[in-house]
Structure 1
Amino acid sequence: MRAIWKGAIAFGLVNVPVKVYSATEDHDISLHQVHNADGGRIRYQRRCEVCGEVVDYSDIEKAFDEDGRTVVLSKDELKSIPAENSHEIEVVQFVPSEQLEPMMFEKSYYLEPDSKSPKAYVLLRRALEDTDRVAIVQFALREKTRLGALRIKDDVLVLQSLLWPDEVREANFPSLEADIRISAQERDMSAALVESMAADFEPDSFTDEYQVQLRQLIDAKLEQGESLDTEETFGVEAGEGGKGEVIDLMEALKRSLDRKRGGGEAASAGGSSDDEADTDEADTGDGEAEGAKPARKASGTKASGTKASGTRAAAAKTGTDDAKPAKSSAKSTAATKSTAAKSTASKPAASQTAGSKSTGTKSADSKSTGTKTAAKPAAKTTRARKPA
């Protein structure tokens, strides 16, 4: 980096010599103007409107027009302004950082110690750290007196030039004066969307997509020449990519939440509880009897829907004392029902329905008690009969 200015911070009677460096730089791809007919470079000439001659930059002065009169100011006259010759960054206040309006920030500069001993520099930095405040300063740079904020970044003093208050426009929009009502549901939905997008700010994770795509366009044009196909280059038609107008605010909020939650809308449409999923797996068995389906639906219901307490007690006696989660019991029961349904094809319809009801009761009982059912032995007996 090259220093653009040298001066000193006036911290009371303490003088802190510093060098000033631009803290930011522009990486945008530079484009120039050409004649579209032959590609000739367009040049701008400083031509005098009185004599018509092209004027060298060294022969140009600055002027101000007022009431039909023109006041020409020479370079030497401009340099005679006292503020222009000042190389002092004067600390005038120390304020809390939250009182600074971000809209007033203009440009940032790094300050480097410009003396053999940087003790005064470190002292000012420590003072800002210990008090947790920002120094408000005044200085002159490039023919303008400026207001600035002196803060710390990675042990380096940073000077941020500020706009003067009269340089910040007021936002006066009549459309915001209307009585706009926001429902509680809309506020809750928008708060949920904010929460789903909450994260720590990491500037390195963002990219200037326009500059990347501009470089892509330049490379493609160099390779393909006038036969360039922008739709093939970018995968979309030229001019596409804009977002449509939002008409239904609630619908837009819902769709945004679904997208951030990883397709929650699709999950809510196709998703089901574990018990229902297990029942669906049992329904896919081959050669099922129609009479067994009502019993399987009953087994997918919660235990609170079963009122036969006497039957529950009898079924509990047949199980073991080793408790298992209700989900595992439901899976075991569903698998047993599927096997039992296959074997009952040769039985009378009445006994088949009764067996299905019995199985449904055991499933409900197993959910309410959290114990194993006696279905496993029955399943083994069924498998033994299947060859016959």
Structure 2
Amino acid sequence: MHTIWKGSISFGLVNIPVKLHAATDDKGVKFRTLHEKCNSPIRYEKVCPVCEEEVGQDDLVKAYEYAKGKFIVVEDEELKKLKGEAEDRAVEIIRFVKMEEIDPIYFEKSYYLSPNDGGGKAYSLLRAALGESGKVGIAKMAFRSKEQLAVLRVYNDTIVMETIHYPDEVRSTEDVPNVPAKTEIAEKELETAILLIDQLTAEFNPEEFHDDYREAVLKFIESKRTGEEFVTPEEKDKPSNVTDLMAALQASIDRTKPTTTKAKEAKPATKAKTTKKKATTKTKAKKNA
């Protein structure tokens, strides 16, 4: 697994040398853009719109746009001084909290942490302490040109670092348009909605879920590559335009019922068949007597 960062976890006076690894992969199908005339991949070049010339990497500088069309140029060395070398290599745990206190909206990206040379025992100690306490660590670190807030937790015996947003990075729900105010809900509608939730409730098993679109695209691409005929899968039933909320809920419940109802109906039929068989056997026995 590729190491994308090396540093240490500061846990009180305990220092744990660690390596950082990406915990997730983006499996989306990526397409290249080609020139239709010759099927050559298109290159995207940096061009100055004023000088009308291509600009190389050495000709670029960083700048902050504080107003429309007005910039403050910032040097990399100036930013480096602000950040500090020590901060760039340390993950400092500043607090411990319960995981359920953090709303999922704050979570950004997951990384695996592994111990670096000599850090195995301290890593194991922190892992055991997190597991035993049922808490997660809130940490700060300088990562990818930003002071990052993170959560340290245990997943499958591995310490995971979840980068999380700062409060001012989470947009206010008050800015979301057309959210209805609290509305009077009929008791029957609420009961039916809860019944539908109950019928669709199951233990979460991530292995059950697949990216159907990605699989279909890859299958289609493979069929084009090999020259095989591609058959489009049948579309699933789309929800009907039911304007009556109660009718829509009832229709949804009816759609989730059949599998369980059929199973229950099958049992009495089996008993009836068995009873009939026993009765036939008794009749034969009487005739033989």
With normalisation by structure 2, the TM-score equals 0.82
The residue aligned with 2:247 is 251
Instruction: Tell me the secondary structure at the aligned position of residue 42 of structure 1.
Output: coil
Structure 2 letter corresponding to 1:218: I
* Counterpart for residue 2 of structure 1: 2
Correspondence 1:278-357 to 2 at 5 A? none
Question: What's the offset of the Cα at 1:37?
Answer: 5.6
8 Å contact from structure 1 (residues 7, 17) kept in 2: yes
Provide, for residues 20-48 of structure 1, a one-character-per-residue CA deviation record: whole Å limited to 9, x for no partner: 11111122222112344654432211112
Code of the aligned partner of 1:196: Q
Aligned-residue CA RMSD in angstroms? 3.5
CA distance in structure 2 between the partners assigned to 1:197 and 1:181 by the alignment: 25
The Cα shift of 1:15 comes to 1.0
Q: What's the CA shift for 1:259?
A: 1.8
**Any stretches of 5+ residues in structure 1 without a counterpart?**
279-327, 336-375, 381-388
| Number of equivalenced pairs | 279
Task: Compute the displacement of 1:112 (Å).
Answer: 0.9
CA distance in 2, matches of 1:109, 1:94: 19
User: Partner of 1:125: helix, strand, or coil?
Assistant: helix
Seen in structure 2, the aligned counterparts of structure 1 residues 133 and 263 have a Cα distance that, compared at 3 Å, is closer
Q: Which amino acid aligns with 1:135?
A: G
Seen in structure 2, the aligned counterparts of structure 1 residues 180 and 35 have a Cα distance that, compared at 3 Å, is farther
Structure 2 residues not aligned, in runs of 5+: none
- Residue 112 of structure 1 corresponds to which residue in structure 2? 114
Distance 1:52 1:175, change over 3 A: closer
How has the CA–CA distance of structure 1 residues 252 and 177 changed in structure 2, closer, same or farther, with 3 Å as cutoff?
Answer: closer
Aligned to 2:24: 24
**Distance in 2 separating the partners of 1:95 and 1:217:** 48
Answer whether contact 2:63 2:71 (CA < 8 A) is retained: yes
> For the Cα contact (< 8 Å) 2:83–2:142, is it kept in 1?
no
CA deviations 1:200-248 (Å, max 9, x no partner) are: 11111110111101112212333459xx8xxx631459xx976443422
What SS is found at the alignment partner of 2:18? strand
Q: Deviations over 1:128-177 (max 9, x none)?
A: 12221111000010100010101011221111000111111122346444
Counterpart residue type for residue 231 of structure 2: T
CA contact (8 A) 1:8 1:88 kept: yes
**Cα pair 1:84 1:143 within 8 Å, conserved:** no
Matched, 1:77 2:73: no
Give deviations 1:329-382, integer Å, cap 9, x for gaps: 9xx8xx9xxxxxxxxxxxxxxxxxxxxxxxxxxxxxxxxxxxxxxxx9xxx9xx
- CA change 1:117–1:82 in 2 (3 A) is closer
Q: Does 2:178 correspond to 1:206?
A: no
Say if 1:79 and 1:85, in contact at 8 Å, map to a contact too. Answer: no
C-alpha distance 42-138 of structure 1, shift in aligned 2 (>3 A): same
Counterpart of 2:6 in 1: which secondary structure? strand
Change (3 A) 1:266 1:22: closer
**1:116–1:25 distance in 2 versus 1, CA, 3 Å:** same
2:185 is matched with 182
> Displacement, 1:82?
2.4
Give the conservation status (yes or no) of the 8 Å contact 2:24–2:110.
yes
Distance 1:74 1:195, change over 3 A: same
Q: Which has the higher strand share?
A: 2
Residue in structure 1 matched with residue 96 of structure 2 by the alignment? 94
Deviation at 1:52, TM superposition (A): 2.1
In the alignment, what sits opposite 1:42? Answer: 42
Aligned to 1:260: 256
Tell me whether 137-146 or 186-195 shows the greater mean CA deviation: 186-195
Normalized per residue, which structure has more helix?
Answer: 1
Equivalent residue for 1:171, pick from 170, 173, 179: 173
Partners of 2:124 and 2:139 lie apart in 1 by 18
- Aligned letter for 2:258? G
Which residue of the partner structure matches residue 33 of structure 2? 33
CA spacing shift, 1:150–1:43, aligned 2, 3 Å? same
The letter for the 1-side match of 2:93 is: V
Structure with the greater relative contact order (CA < 8 A, sep ≥ 6): 1 or 2? 2
Aligned mates of 1:260, 1:126 — CA distance in 2: 43
Report the residue type matching 1:250 in the other structure: M
Instruction: Write the distance in 2 (CA, Å) between the matches of 1:216 and 1:142.
Output: 37
2:225 to 207, 222, 234: 222
